[in-house]
Amino acid sequence: MSHQGAAAAISDTVTMIDRCVRLMRRNVDTLFVSILLPLLMMALFVYVFGGAIDTGTEYINYVVPGILLLTTGYGASNTAMAVADDMTTGMIDRLRSLPIRSFAVLTGHVTASIARNAVSTAIVIAASLAMGFRPNAGPGDWLAAIGLMLLYVLALSWLAAGVGVIAKSVESASTLSFFMLFLPYLSSAFVPPETMPSWLQPVSEHQPITPVIETVRGFLIGAPPGNDGWIALAWCTGLLLFSFTLATSLYRRRTSR
Amino acid sequence: MIVEATGLRKSFGATEVLTGVDLHVEEGSVLALLGPNGAGKTTTVRILTTLTRPDAGQATVAGYDVLREPAQVRSVISLTGQYAAVDENQTGRENLVMVGRLMHLGRSAARRRTGELLDQFGLTQAMDRRVKTYSGGMRRRLDLAMSLIARPRVIFLDEPTTGLDPASRSTMWDAIGELVRGGTTILLTTQYLEEADRLADRIMVLDKGGIVATGTADDLKSQIGGERIELRFADERQLLKASGVLDGIAGQLVLNLPSDGTAAHLHHVLDVLRDNGVVPERVSSHRPTLDDVFLALTA
Ligand SMILES: Nc1ncnc2c1ncn2[C@@H]1O[C@H](COP(=O)(O)OP(=O)(O)O)[C@@H](O)[C@H]1O
Ligand SMILES: [Mg+2]
């Protein structure tokens, strides 16, 4: 890529980010759900189920990291719908017939997803503090937790972008969101895996979300994450590389018939 | 020739959609691809605009090969597709500025050009409203305006007026006419003979994936005849008498004659009939429709 080419690629990407953030702000339904949903989930788990679940700590301290991962996973997967919307309306032909870098379009959507999740995460954290969440994390721990979540959201957003590229419709792209809303229940997000039936325990312990949750939880409530930290980092980095490659090559395939 | 294509073929699965299309467009002229639904117009346009790969054949636009140099082709063309490609949740102005930025006009140049185009297409009033509140005609105009941001050398318009009400259609025609006067090369597709007639220098008739006729509007009309007059008679005897003195095609109590559409010709026809003691019950005239063209060309 020449120097001028790089400048053009950056400018295209900035323009597409600008577009996606604006569209996202105006897509009131999705924005509303992605903020309201985590708050409802938290209230539900803390006030309704919390009393019945014994995790050996204050339940709210146990569950907040789980809620954070559930909502960011869900928020990231909504990227699939935004991408599918572009791919299935005339807009993609307009974008394709312009002389722009192919990854600029997807990068715009992924960046908007990061922004959306940053907002919903901040709101969830603020609400959880108000509801009695008492983390004992130092600035370094917070930074590490946020860094890992950022990597997780980035990886999932690219995966969702790839799903959006091949989805036949916005509705079928939304299946991913459903899946991501469901997957955390089979992890250590809400209940310790030891309490699950024995056939489910290995699934719960070894699926990628569990080490991520354990690590974030470790950083926030002051238990050293140990091995889980490296496993989580490996999962997220691997997923990011895989998803980015997949999404961009699917996009190029689909747009160069 | 600014657009040149030879032997374009395309199949989707087992259906052959283009069976070998040759076409060329001279710089600064307007070519209309005329054909019914499913003829292969959109497929042809998509190949020329680098969006679809042909199975066989070659095409160049402004000297760039659509297969080997798609990026260069994209930098000199614009495409206004059959369905408006606009962001519903952005305003008209935001849509235009965005495309201007993607065409690498500077920020201020993009704004300036946006202002000009909003004005030219009568969208200034609505520029800060979201596109989802626009009428079909406004969307089409915005779509065309978005295509013109960077002053493309060749503009592809796929059925620019299909589905528009007559007023919007005529605004669209005016806008296209203005581009033509500015010297832009245009390739448009249409299902309407009238539209091709009004806008194009040359017309190619596409049917079932192949070109069945080429020429100016006048050429085509003389091939199929211009306007037709239809005379209806009360009985067979009168029809027989009329067809004896006039040169037309007789049907069920009707006689169908070619005409130049003038009142003088109609007058002449009626005079001939009166002189022979025949009075038609009804007289009507119609312009040839696309159906007439096809019947004539594929007969
Ligand atoms: N992507 C596609 N897959 C399968 N068939 C297609 C595809 N695109 C077009 N066709 C078929 O090709 C034929 C020509 O289509 P098209 O070029 O859109 O015609 P027109 O624009 O003249 O109406 C139609 O029968 C259409 O159904
Ligand atoms: Mg078409």
B83 C-beta closer than 6 A to ligand 1: no
Q: Distance between CA B56 and CA B11 in Å, rounded? A: 10
In angstroms, what is the span from residue B109 Cα to ligand 2's centroid? 33
Nearest atom of ligand 1 to the alpha carbon of B206: 22
Residue A84 is predicted with a pLDDT of 92
How far B251 CA lies from chain A's nearest CA (Å)? 47
Query: Would you state the pLDDT for residue A1?
Result: 44
Q: What are the tens digits of pLDDT across the range B75-86?
A: 899 888 777 789
**Beta-sheet strand order (sheet of B15-25):** B15-25, B3-12, B56-61, B64-65
Residues of A in contact with B78 (CB under 8 A): 97
Please answer yes or no on whether B101 and A256 come within 8 Å at the CB atom. no
- DSSP letter string, B105-125: --HHHHHHHHHHHHHHTT-TT
Which residue on chain B is closest to A26 by alpha carbon?
B89
Across A181-185, A227-231, B29-33, B290-294, least confident range: B290-294
DSSP B130: B
Helix axes B107-120, B136-148, angle to 10 degrees: 140
Looking at the domain covering B227-287, what would its CATH class be?
Answer: alpha beta
CA angle at residue A118 from A76 to A214, to 5 degrees?
70
Range in A137-141, A238-242, B43-47, B127-131 the model is least confident about: A137-141
pLDDT of residue A27: 81
In this structure, the number of other CB atoms found within 10 A of the CB of residue A241 comes to 12
pLDDT at B30 over 50: yes
Rounded Cα–Cα distance for residues B118 and B115 (Å): 5
DSSP assignment, residue A195?
G
Q: Which residue among A27, A89, A98 places its CB closest to the CB of B102?
A: A98
List per-residue pLDDT tens for chain A, 257 residues long. 445 678 888 888 999 999 998 988 888 887 788 888 888 888 888 888 777 777 777 788 888 888 888 888 888 888 999 999 988 887 887 888 777 777 889 999 999 999 989 988 898 889 888 888 888 888 888 898 999 999 999 999 999 999 999 988 888 888 887 777 777 777 777 777 777 788 878 777 777 788 888 888 888 887 777 788 888 888 899 999 999 999 999 988 887 65
The confidence score (pLDDT) of residue B61 equals: 94
Show me where the domains of chain A are located: 5-255
Hunting for tokens 């297409």 — which residue is that?
B121
pLDDT tens-digit map of B217-247? 777 776 666 677 888 998 888 888 888 888 7
Q: Is the dihedral of CA A230, A232, A233, A234 positive or negative?
A: positive
pLDDT in tens, B135-146: 888 898 899 899
Q: Which residue has the higher pLDDT, A52 or B270?
A: B270
- A–B interface: beta-carbon pairs under 8 A: 64
Tokens of B13: 């699965």
Domain B3-215 matching CATH 3.40.50.300: the answer reads: yes
Please report, to the nearest 10 degrees, the dihedral formed by the alpha carbons of residues B296, B225, B259, B201 taken in order: 140
Chain B residues closer than 8 Å to A97 by CB: 49-51, 74, 77-79
**Which H helix or E strand runs over B189?**
strand B185-190
User: Residue B194: what are its φ and ψ, rounded to 5°?
Assistant: -60, -40
CB-proximal residues (5 Å) to ion ligand 2: B 41-42, 82
Are the beta carbons of A60 and B132 closer than 8 angstroms?
Answer: no
Q: What is the C-alpha to C-alpha distance for residues A1 and A21, in angstroms, rounded to an integer?
A: 27
State the pLDDT at residue B32: 94
B172 touches A: beta carbon within 8 Å: no
Which contacts (CB < 8 Å, 24+ apart) does range A14-17 have? A15/A104, A15/A108, A15/B98, A15/B101, A15/B102, A16/A100, A16/A104, A16/A105, A16/A107, A16/A108, A16/A109, A16/B102, A17/A107, A17/A108, A17/A111, A17/A112
> How do the domains of chain B map onto residue ranges?
3-215, 227-287
Residue B100 Cβ contacting ligand 1 at under 6 Å = no
> What per-residue confidence (pLDDT) applies to A3?
54
Q: Which residues contact B30 (CB under 8 A, 6 or more apart)?
A: B180, B185, B186, B187, B188, B199, B200, B201, B202
Quote the pLDDT of residue A158.
95
Token pair of A227 as six digits: 């091995």
**pLDDT 10s digits, B48-103:** 999 889 999 999 999 999 999 988 898 899 888 777 789 988 999 999 999 999 88
- The whole-model pTM stands at 0.78
- The closest of B69, B74, B63, B54 to B9, measured between CA atoms, is B54
What's the rounded Cα separation, in Å, for the pair A213 and A148?
Answer: 10
As a whole number of angstroms, the distance between CA B23 and CA A45 comes to 67
Contact criterion met (CB below 8 Å) for B91 and B128:
yes
The answer to whether B142 touches B130, Cβ cutoff 8 Å, is no
Q: A51-89 burial by CB neighbour count: b if 16+ within 10 A, else e? A: eeeeeeeebbbbbbbbbbbbbbbbbbbbbbbbbbbbbbb
pLDDT value of position B296: 65
In the prediction, which pLDDT does A179 show?
Answer: 79
B205 pocket-lining for ligand 1 (C-beta < 6 Å): no
Percentage of chain B beyond pLDDT 90 is: 39
Q: Take residue B116 and report the two structure tokens written for it.
A: 């000009």
Upper half-sphere CA count for residue A108 (Cβ side, 13 Å): 27
What sections of A97-226 are H helices per DSSP? Answer: 102-130, 139-166, 170-173, 175-182, 201-206, 209-221
What percent of chain B is modeled with pLDDT above 70? 94
The helix/strand/coil state of B91 is strand
β-strand partners of B187: B31, B156
Of B52, B94, B130, the CB nearest to A257: B52
Atom of ligand 1 nearest to the CA of B159: 21
